[in-house]
Amino acid sequence: MDIREIVRPKMNPNIPQISPGDTVKVSLKAMEGARERLQHFQGMVIKMRKGVDGGSFTVRRVSYGIGVERTFPLQSPSVQNVEVLRHGKVRRAKLYYMRRLSAKRARLKERRERTIEQATAQEEQAVSQEEQAASQEEQATPQEEKHTSE
């Protein structure tokens, strides 16, 4: 039996594919006495750690001028949901440099991802436009020949 087979079933299915630079909203199950409630933490993913024993990701946000970072295990049952709000465009795997930037300078450009459906729809639209242009050229060509022969 392989270690990956033992660990794989424990992975949390509520965590989507995230990467550094993404702005996420993490919903945690918090116990307050006998009551259980959801606690939300929204910020930018600055670090991802992956491994056989389970990985983790670190989310950073600035609250009242103070930087707050929380690390969440990927396989934790207390993580109820992770919602990706926007995908940031970065060139580094670890965004530690964001710690020393001011809030305005810490903004990232958004990474636009094309899904397969969007790509096929755009290709089909381009082909149909080419066909329309070709048919218009064919219709225009015989009329011009008639005018020149007269």
Q: Are residues 45 and 118 in the same domain?
A: no
pLDDT exceeds 90 at position 140: no
Q: Is residue 122 part of a domain?
A: yes
Q: Is residue 109 part of a domain?
A: no
Regarding pTM above 0.85, the answer is no
Question: What is the Cα–Cα distance from 19 to 119, expressed in whole angstroms?
Answer: 22
Parallel, antiparallel or unpaired: strands 66-73 and 79-86? unpaired
| CATH number for the domain harbouring residue 40 | 2.30.30.790
Q: Is the dihedral of CA 128, 131, 136, 137 positive or negative?
A: positive
Tally of structural domains, the chain: 2
Domain range for 47: 3-100
Q: Are residues 44 and 80 in the same domain?
A: yes
End-to-end alpha-carbon separation of the chain, Å?
87
- Predicted local distance difference test score (pLDDT) of residue 86: 86
pLDDT exceeds 70 at position 67: yes
Summarize the confidence of residues 18-26 as an average pLDDT.
91
Residue pair 26/68 in contact by the 8 Å Cβ criterion: no
Q: Are residues 33 and 84 in the same domain?
A: yes
Summarize the confidence of residues 2-19 as an average pLDDT.
74
At 102-121, the pLDDT tens digits run: 665 566 666 666 666 666 77
- If pLDDT is split at 50, 70 and 90, which confidence band does 59 have? very high
